[in-house]
Structure 1
Amino acid sequence: MQYLFLEQAGEHQLTLEGGEHRYIFKVRRHREGEIIALRNLRDASIYFYEIVSLTKKEAMLVLEKSEILSVVVQKKLHLAWCVIDPKSVEKVLPSLNEIGVEAITFIYCNRSQKSFTLDFKRLEKILLNSSQQSGRSSLMKLSLGDSLEDFLEEYPQTVMLNFSEQMLTASSDVSTVAIGCEGGFTNEEVALFKSENIMGLETPLILKSETAVCAVASKILL
């Protein structure tokens, strides 16, 4: 763990109770007198606190110093991801966060199962845990879009990942990509994109949606 997320990080004095106390002192085994790093993920600062008091139920921390330390990837990538099984999203979300995806807008596309419901509070908790482990200093933005058409109105240069002779490469000047769900995009959805904005990956294999999203993120950001 690179730091502990706490909304109050930055205040001069903090008291840790409950889950934060258990994790720091029973899992991480920190002791009185040690220094621990905290972030609030609202700013780029990392805050270093001394553990000045420790009991079985709570710990008191005092701010020793802080420094601006932005840990983000240089490129930006916004994914428009057609809704798939939330369990599959939850499995790959930590990887996408560690790769450095800036934002994901989930969209119910024509072939998305409307019975799938995303639990954004649960997804945010997954992102927090991933960020603490990877050191990422900003939280990925998650949202639910109204439709693919509306998304394209706001982001007209979006590239669709689909079968194409035009390949998406590491040098492609792409910052927004639409990824289909199981079964891919319908003909009506493909028709929404200009031909030059439809790109594929250099593989003859059919990828699952969650595999494709990781492949695209890795291709562009790593």
Structure 2
Amino acid sequence: MQFIYEENPQNSMIITGDNYKYLFKVRRVKVGDAVNITNFNGIIYKYKITNISKKDANLLKIDEFKIEQELKPFHLGWCKIDTKNIEKVLPTLNEIGVTKITFIECDRSQRNFKLKLDRITKILINSNQQCGRVEIMKIDFCESLDEFLEANPDAKVLDFGGEKINEYFETAVVGCEGGFSERERTLFKNRYSFDTDLILRSESATVAVASKVLL
């Protein structure tokens, strides 16, 4: 990990719980070693380990510095699918640099799946600690594709038979497993697709479009 997350870094701190286990049972850091901590405000706080006990450790802040990360704005409108599949691919989208995801209740979304913001946030925090991203991805929810497209009229919709993706754009929409309904297709101002005859799963399409646009 590049750093660990603490909600409210202080000049002196006591580390417990998961962060303690990671630092002292996985990384096996010692007294006198330095540890980087952030609360995802763009600042890294450097601490020196001053004492280690069986359940916690004492840290003293010795420095802090601001990190500038220039991420291209990329907003993904993702029609909701199985929560487990969303959670599996979230870290990858986070590492690629997606800046915001809005989960959309489209006509063919499976309504019985409930996304929990606190769980999503925890996944993103763990991903940030691993990849070094210093700001949390923004997460939003939308009740319908109609509502999302009204708020984001320039969004590029990923659908079969559309224009091939060959340039950067800021907002994309990916459908759910059943695809878009015929009613929803009447809402599209444009359609984009990949240069392949293969059918991508919803989660594969999100990674593909983010990679195509951002990397």
- Secondary structure of the residue aligned to 2:160 is coil
Task: Determine if the alignment matches structure 1 residue 8 to structure 2 residue 8.
Answer: yes
- Secondary structure of the residue aligned to 1:96 is helix
- Secondary structure of the residue aligned to 1:65 is strand
Q: Equivalent of 1:209, from 195, 202, 205? A: 202
Report the equivalent of 1:87: 84
Q: CA deviation at 1:71?
A: 3.3
Map Cα deviations across residues 79-103 of structure 1 (whole Å, 9 max, x no partner).
Answer: 1100100111111111000000001
Map Cα deviations across residues 105-144 of structure 1 (whole Å, 9 max, x no partner).
Answer: 0011111111111122111111111110000011111121
Query: Could you tell me how far apart the structure 2 residues matched to 1:28 and 1:191 are?
Result: 54
Q: CA deviation at 1:13?
A: 1.0
Show structure 2 runs of 5+ residues with no match. Answer: none
Report the equivalent of 1:117: 114
Task: Determine if the alignment matches structure 1 residue 30 to structure 2 residue 16.
Answer: no
2:16 touches 2:56 (CA, 8 Å); kept in 1?
Answer: yes
CA RMSD of aligned residues (A): 1.2
After superposing on structure 2, the runs of 4+ consecutive aligned residues of structure 1 that deviate more than 4 Å are none
Given residue 202 of structure 1, which amino acid in structure 2 is its aligned partner? D
Alignment of 1:152-171 (within 5 A): 152-169=149-166
Q: CA deviation at 1:164?
A: 2.6
Task: Determine if the alignment matches structure 1 residue 219 to structure 2 residue 212.
Answer: yes
Query: Could you tell me how far apart the structure 2 residues matched to 1:162 and 1:57 are?
Result: 53
Query: Could you tell me how far apart the structure 2 residues matched to 1:7 and 1:154 are?
Result: 32
Identity %: 44
1:168 touches 1:200 (CA, 8 Å); kept in 2?
Answer: yes
- Secondary structure of the residue aligned to 1:21 is helix
2:83 touches 2:114 (CA, 8 Å); kept in 1?
Answer: yes
Report the equivalent of 2:55: 57
Report the equivalent of 1:174: 169
Given residue 23 of structure 2, which amino acid in structure 1 is its aligned partner? I
Q: CA deviation at 1:24?
A: 1.1
Report the equivalent of 1:199: 192
1:72 touches 1:137 (CA, 8 Å); kept in 2?
Answer: no
Report the equivalent of 1:46: 44
Q: CA deviation at 1:70?
A: 2.6
- Secondary structure of the residue aligned to 2:46 is strand
- Secondary structure of the residue aligned to 1:164 is strand
Query: Could you tell me how far apart the structure 2 residues matched to 1:173 and 1:131 are?
Result: 24
Alignment of 1:112-151 (within 5 A): 112-151=109-148
Show structure 1 runs of 5+ residues with no match. Answer: none
TM-score normalised to the size of structure 1?
Answer: 0.93
Given residue 38 of structure 2, which amino acid in structure 1 is its aligned partner? R
TM-score normalised to the size of structure 2?
Answer: 0.96
Given residue 45 of structure 1, which amino acid in structure 2 is its aligned partner? I
Task: Determine if the alignment matches structure 1 residue 190 to structure 2 residue 185.
Answer: yes
Report the equivalent of 2:74: 77
Report the equivalent of 1:18: 17
Query: Could you tell me how far apart the structure 2 residues matched to 1:37 and 1:173 are?
Result: 34
Q: CA deviation at 1:19?
A: 2.1
Count of aligned positions = 215
2:108 touches 2:176 (CA, 8 Å); kept in 1?
Answer: yes
* Gap change, CA 1:23 and 1:165, over 3 Å in 2: closer
